[in-house]
A and B are shown apart, each in its own frame.
Chain A
């Protein structure tokens, strides 16, 4: 099941499967712009799933894909770039 789609302000889009996320923090610490954070809510397994959050001071999401590659639960299901 695919849930919890979140978009960045402009340039990129990251899709998160919030039911597969285990809130391990790896994508949070690996994102060079700190654009991901654990949400305060719960998923059905009782984890705080990741949500996209544009912090603003380090730049927008660049669709670099680091969150996609580090996630052990492949819960970052899609990384997309704005069509030129």
Chain B
């Protein structure tokens, strides 16, 4: 409840104790920040902050422990799933999660991701797929669409030279044991013929984050991929990066629930 100029208001959404007050280093309009907020909200709603351990990746999310009010361990680049598996075996009471970039999870750490998925270890993985190596300045990533100009593909990504983009969600879902695999389009989406953008992605994302923690509490492996943007390295304005994501990334990485063993989506 808050008072403003003599009038009483009932708080519907408020500041979260699961967040620190530190301003983020993320660029303006970046989904890394949005996801941080969604995770903080889920940790708060589920009342699991005390048991939560962030196993940290290398990439723009490397500073996430500065923003989330949880314990954290830094893993070598891409190896968060292996570190989470170890923590979970030693301390099954803890709730482990990672926030990984596509370079981190789908390139240098692909093997650790695949083995963790194959074993189906209880853990929660959030993949931020912004189709590039953000932190190091916009090199081609495994998820870069064909034709996209990056610093290492100045004439656009060449199919003949590099093969097609890797679909991490499909790959994880190709294993038998993962209990929850979902892909969410997180950026705001332009709506045809209006000045508005649709914010559905953030709402769907909030639900997916929550489910991904609930799945681990039931002993399952949960993987959520967030199709995202990187306006700075894509060299676009913030809103143009959302338009590009909707036009190019959304059809390449379609949204969907690829696995839902505990039927959380229909509950």
Contacts and interface: CB of A to CB of B under 8 A. Distances in A.
A66 B29 contact: no
B62 interface: no
B171 interface: no
Given A5-B4, A74-B33, A83-B1, A69 B199 contact: yes
A26 B188 contact: yes
Contact of A29 (B13, B36, B239): B239
B146 to A, nearest CB: 28
A72 B188 contact: no
A77 B19 CA distance: 11
Interface residues of B, number: 42
Contacts of A26: 29, 188, 197, 238
Given A13-B2, A78-B2, A78-B13, A72 B196 contact: no
B19 A79 contact: no
Given A13-B4, A79-B13, A73 B23 contact: yes
Interface string A19-34: 1101111100110101
Contact of B15 (A45, A65, A77): A77
Interface in B6-41: 7-16, 19, 21, 23-24, 26-34, 36-38, 40
Nearest to B15: A77
A83 B9 contact: yes
Interface string B186-221: 001000000111110011001000000000000000
Contacts of B38: 69
Interface of A: 1, 5, 7, 12-13, 15, 19-20, 22-26, 29-30, 32, 34, 45, 47, 63, 65-66, 68-74, 77-83
**8 shortest interchain CB distances as A-B pairs:** A72-B33, A24-B29, A80-B9, A22-B28, A24-B28, A69-B202, A29-B197, A30-B199
